[in-house]
Amino acid sequence: MTEAAWDAALTSVGARLRALEAIRADFEALIALGTGQALEVIAANVGPQLDAIRATIDQLTADAALAEDIVAAINSGSIPASVVAETAARIWLTPTLRDSWNAKQPGDPTLTALAALTVAADRLIYATAPDAFAVSPLTAIARNLLAAATATAMREVMGAAEDEAVTTALGFRLRFDAAQVLTSPQRTQAHDNLGLGDAALANIGTAEGNVVALDGPSRLPSLDGSQLANVVPAIPVRAFATFKWTGTAVEILASAGIASITRNGVGDYTVTFTEAMPSAHYAVTGSIAAAGGSWLLSPLSPSGLGAPSLMTTTQVRVAVYAYGGGFADPTYAAIQIVGG
């Protein structure tokens, strides 16, 4: 090949190479332009979605941390119910946390017992024992009866309208559980129905027509017995005492109506009454227990035969005699004040 041919060939190759470089440059420029536009489209359309996804991931991460804190608080029993209610809709739990949370319910035996029941329509849950429940049928009429606020409403539910005649009759019945106001004819009829005698209609007291009642244990009130027939009048014992001389003091063993017994000397005693006698005309009786001989207790008389030396409504002076031996102190004596 000649030099001219080589020059022509190289010139042609150079021109082609330059044309190829120009095409490549144009293609690269076109690629760069397309890439930039594509990135702009992606940034304009995909970017917000990526931001939303990142925000969701951040929220889920925060919710997971919050869920762990809440479960820990529930396990320790220190979380308010309001916190759970506000966050329950957006809490995500891991299986471990969910199991821990679910384990809380069986910790309450009441809730566990209620959860075990099979309930249905028209059924009532009732307790049979502590933390034990059962289900019973509850009809519509039973619900309406429970909802009734008054006795009249309850009767209407049961179809038992109030009978005025029955109500009136019940109002007149003889009651034993509360006070009752009866008219005179009603009292008479009640008296006859109960089969009571005339005394049931009489008042209690001591006036004419009254029924006499005891005014104390085994004690009648003061009555005028002058009109009583074939009744032996009772002679009241006003006072009594049993006593003895111990050698150093008077010992009263038992008494009623006697305040004290004072020894004035051998066989000489003054008896003082608790209350004054109606008069000084009472009787003094006594009995003596002593070793040997016969003994006598009587009001003391200075001469032995005259009036008593002391016999008033408040005191009496008595002497203890031993026949054939004069005054003596008793080892046991009993004295009674009768009448007066």
- pLDDT at residue 89, as a whole number: 44
Q: pTM of this prediction?
A: 0.36
| Tens place of pLDDT per residue across the chain (340 aa) | 566 665 566 676 667 777 777 777 777 777 777 776 666 766 677 677 777 778 878 877 877 777 677 667 666 655 555 555 445 544 555 566 666 656 565 567 888 888 888 888 888 898 999 889 998 998 888 888 888 888 888 878 877 655 566 666 666 666 667 777 778 887 788 778 877 777 777 788 877 778 878 877 777 777 766 666 666 667 788 899 999 999 999 999 999 999 999 999 988 899 999 999 999 988 898 888 765 556 677 787 765 555 778 899 999 998 888 776 678 888 888 999 998 7
132: nearest Cα among 107, 102, 112: 112
Torsion angle defined by CA atoms of residues 36, 38, 40 and 44, in that order, rounded to the nearest 10 degrees: -170
* DSSP string for 21-64: HHHHHHHHHHHHHHHHHHHHHHHHHHHHHHHHHHHHHHHHHHHH
- pLDDT at residue 142, as a whole number: 86
Alpha carbon distance 81, 84 (integer Å): 5
- pLDDT at residue 236, as a whole number: 83
Name the burial class of residue 142, with classes exposed (0-12), middle (13-18) and buried (19+) by CB atoms within 10 angstroms of its CB.
middle
74: nearest Cα among 36, 44, 101, 45: 101
Distances in Å between the Cα of 118 and the Cα atoms of 102, 113, 126, 173, 228 are: 20, 11, 13, 50, 85
Alpha carbon distance 70, 83 (integer Å): 8
- pLDDT at residue 262, as a whole number: 94
Q: Which tokens hold the place of 295?
A: 């003994």
In sequence order, the β-bridge partners of residue 219 are 216
- pLDDT at residue 252, as a whole number: 94
- pLDDT at residue 21, as a whole number: 77
Each domain of the chain, given as residue ranges in start order, spans: 1-103, 108-162, 176-226, 237-339
Q: Where are the alpha helices (DSSP H) in 173-249?
A: 184-194
Q: Which tokens hold the place of 254?
A: 């038992």
- pLDDT at residue 90, as a whole number: 46
286: nearest Cα among 323, 336, 228: 336
Which residue, chain included where needed, has tokens 């027509």?
209
